[in-house]
Amino acid sequence: MDIAHRFKEIEEHVGRLSPVQKILLGTDGSVTQLLESVTGHPVSVRTREQEVVKADTLAAEHLNIAPGDAVNHRIVELCDATTGEVLVYAKSQTPVARLAPEFRDDLMKADIPIGRIIERHHIEARREILTARVTSAKDDVSGIFSVCRNEPLLMRQYQIIHGGEPLIFIEEQFPYNKFLDERRVIVQTPSRIHITLLDMNGSLGRVDGGIGIALDDPSVLLEAQAGPSVEVRGCDRRTAVLVRDTAEQVLARIHAGAGVSLTVREHFPVHIGLGGGSQLALATARACCELYGKTMTTGELARMIGRGGTSGIGTAAFEHGGFILDGGHRFGPGCEKTGFAPSSASIGVQPPPVLMHHDFPRDWRILLAIPALPEGASGTREAEIFRTCCPVPVDEVRTLCHEVLMRMLPGIAEQDLDRFGTSVNTVQELGFKKVELSFQPREVTGLLDTMRAAGAAGAGMSSFGPTLYAIGDTGMQEIERAAQSFMQEIGGGATLVTSARNSGAAVRIA
């Protein structure tokens, strides 16, 4: 393998590699000794799995053995023995028939690095690197390294050759944001469903109010490091403009005196009903502040970048996660708000108070169905809808608030899926949500009916759409198939089954 060429490919994909990272990926010597040299601490081994299994086709190919031959399967963590930090996650496979009894005993019964076992038994061997590439941290590995889910990992595979035959096949992984030579801030945010605004009448002196749910997926994953100017990479031009504008605004406000280099690892489209713009902006603002040591609350960040002036669900999802109920804004002459307007036209208005934050049942699943339809209302069109369609009838507001207080919230508190789902269905026909749905093409209401008929406990439209959601527990595959079939007939679309996220944005320093 041409390791220099692989380094170039990795850097094109993920960003610059540090000298230490290149050495760890390209070395044909002992990884344990390298780690001890880099950290200045001894390295210990923690065995996670150890068993003799039958070689599958891929293992047989890597080890030049027959499928079904016995191999020792081992998964270990190489740890800093002083701090306990996991440095490298490694999997190995070794043909049992090629091992001397003493070597086999050390490999299978002791927490000893493979390199030291080879040295202890005076085995002459060489390492042959097979590949080096980028992968991503899934739930299990992200927890091991204490990194954000889907953060990039650097991975390599190699063989230890002895006597002309592969003695061991090894795969090693470590976070891209480890062993770098500059400080980085990583932020991962949830997305959110916006179920409805509560009071777009305002006769009691408050307006807005909202309910929503933070979601595991899709998410925003963003990295930031100091730089001489503001640079954005890893995303399309529209997203880059939003991130750049936000970063420039924040850096000016906090008097950073320097720039920032931002890499967008994951994001999702704006104006589809999932809060993509708010989450990108909040992630950018948080990263810039953390990078330059400025402590600000989520509310302060939101007000600085013009978010949360109508609905507080996006900012509360960023801060808390879970199921959220916010209390809206004071309304009338001399108050925070004097007219009906979306967040984009409510600049300088602080996010509303969170009245309730409750864990959403993890065993309830949420299907997102995103038909290939135009973006939901935004900008001047959204502002015009607020202006011309409000105030909504006070009787509908009363009915909606009664529905939320006496059926939706008890459904969450008691984990009563049928009660909660029925409430979601009812909400679609009341207040401002009825207004939002009235601007949708018939395909949207048809998709809602399709998902309910397929078994969804409840289904609704998030914000101004076009994203729809269905809530259930079992049978989500059938609901997803029904949604996909319907969308194929109206021009296509995408689906995703996810869960609620009962925690806010993850922020870490690397």
Residue where one domain finishes, among candidates 151, 175, 199 = 175
- The Cα 196–Cα 392 span in angstroms is 13
Residues 114 and 227 in one domain: no
pLDDT for the residue numbered 240:
96
The shares of helix, strand and coil residues in the chain, as percent rounded to the nearest 5, are: 35, 30, 35
CATH of the domain at 275: 3.30.230.120
Q: E strand or H helix at 35, and its extent?
A: helix 31-39
pLDDT for the residue numbered 140:
87
State which residues of the chain have pLDDT below 50: none
- The Cα 205–Cα 477 span in angstroms is 45
**Number of independent structural domains in the chain:** 2
Q: Tens digit of pLDDT for each residue in 364-386?
A: 999 999 999 988 888 899 999 99
pLDDT for the residue numbered 208:
96
Residues 145 and 169 in one domain: yes
CB 254 within 8 A of CB 294: yes
Q: Is 181 inside a domain boundary?
A: no
- The Cα 267–Cα 346 span in angstroms is 25
Residues 195 and 69 in one domain: no
pLDDT for the residue numbered 110:
67
Q: Is 180 inside a domain boundary?
A: no
Residues 96 and 238 in one domain: no
- The Cα 15–Cα 17 span in angstroms is 7
For 214, the domain range is 186-507
Q: Is 369 inside a domain boundary?
A: yes
Residue where one domain finishes, among candidates 115, 141, 175 = 175
Q: Tens digit of pLDDT for each residue in 36-94?
A: 999 999 999 999 998 999 999 999 999 999 999 999 899 999 999 999 999 999 999 99
CATH of the domain at 158: 3.40.1410.10
- The Cα 343–Cα 281 span in angstroms is 13
Spatial CA neighbour of 152 closest among 510, 499, 503, 422? 510
Residues 317 and 418 in one domain: yes
pLDDT for the residue numbered 394:
97
Q: Is 229 inside a domain boundary?
A: yes
Q: Is 116 inside a domain boundary?
A: yes
- Give the predicted TM-score (pTM) of the model: 0.91
Residues 104 and 196 in one domain: no
Q: Is 108 inside a domain boundary?
A: yes
Residues 296 and 341 in one domain: yes
Residues 121 and 190 in one domain: no
For residue 1 the two structure tokens come to 């393998």
Q: Is 112 exposed, middle or buried (0-12, 13-18, 19+ CB in 10 A)?
A: middle
pLDDT for the residue numbered 121:
75
Spatial CA neighbour of 379 closest among 284, 451, 277? 277
Residues 160 and 303 in one domain: no
Residue where one domain finishes, among candidates 175, 209, 224 = 175
Spatial CA neighbour of 95 closest among 151, 141, 54? 54
Residues 147 and 193 in one domain: no
Q: Which residues of 372-391 are buried (b: 16+ CB within 10 A; e: fewer)?
A: ebeebbeeeebbebbeebbe
Computed over its alpha carbons, how large is the radius of gyration of the chain?
27
Residues 167 and 206 in one domain: no
pLDDT for the residue numbered 125:
78
Residues 425 and 349 in one domain: yes
